[in-house]
Amino acid sequence: MQDSNEPKISEPTPLVDRRDFLGGATMLAGTSLLGLAAPMSAAEPAGGAVPAAPAEMPADRMPPIPPEKYTEAQKKAAAEITSGPRGALVGPFIPLLRSPELMSRLQRVGEYLRFEGKFEANIREFIILIIARQWTQQFEWYSHESLALKAGVKPETIKAIAEMRRPSEMTPDETMLYDFISELRLRQSVSDAAYAPVVKRFGEQGIIDITVLCGYYTLLGMMMNTTRTPLPPGTPLPLATFPQ
């Protein structure tokens, strides 16, 4: 991740409830919630809704704590971040520092998922972008879009995810993961039809790591949307919000 400083910002446009563009959440990609035959296109907005122009970010609720005001626990937790592969205390770790013991434990989970996990970078970044888009998490998208491109995720695939459309030309791995994650997010479960190809391809450890990767970035998205973690000053918002 890159350094993030508090920008000058104004009041937000509220984020839309995801149900607003799921068509009542009773039909997903032409398949009812009781049927599992068709691939999911669950992230598409209902009625062809077009993303609204991005608004400015609201004021940061938990800006960086001056290092001279760190408690001993905060000093220890911050040192773990800065001495590790991230190299800097930015993004979600700025608000997380308010709970240093939690941050210390949580960042080790993230360190494994990002830097030590079994997945190739293209798979990991593809999953992260799906979750960042679900939460309209501007910082995570800003941080990971370029990493996804560098890892080989196609620009048109990234564009479709940003627009909450099912990408039309995904790799076989992306296709099975998109369907798996879509069901997990929207049905809070995964059908046998979506589970089988993923466990065959990535194994049972892969299922666990994929699910926890989704959960980890969901947690970061919830937290940063709550604390209003900003982008670097002058950086345009990369994700559009959807109209209510």
The answer, yes or no, to whether residue 82 has pLDDT greater than 90, is yes
Q: At residue 126, what is the residue type?
A: F
Adjacent-strand bridge partners of 28? 31
- Report the predicted TM-score, pTM, of the whole model to 2 decimal places: 0.77
pLDDT number for residue 117: 83
Q: How many CA atoms lie within 13 A of 1 on its CB side?
A: 26
Q: Among 3-17, 21-35, 37-51, 71-85, which stretch is predicted with the lowest mean pLDDT?
A: 21-35
pLDDT number for residue 87: 87
Phi then psi dihedrals of residue 203, to 5 deg: 80, 175
Q: In the predicted model, what is the mean pLDDT of the chain?
A: 82
Q: Does domain 120-227 have CATH number 1.10.10.10?
A: no
Mean pLDDT across 145-157:
97
pLDDT number for residue 32: 31
Task: Give me the residue label for tokens 């947690």.
Answer: 219
More confident of the two residues 153 and 29:
153
**8 A C-beta contact, residue 72 and residue 41:** no
| pLDDT band, very low/low/confident/very high, at 104 (cuts 50, 70, 90) | very high
Residues of the chain with CATH 1.20.1290.10: 120-227
Helix 172-187 × helix 121-134 angle, to 10°: 30
More confident of the two residues 10 and 94:
94
Mean pLDDT across 154-183:
96
pLDDT number for residue 118: 82
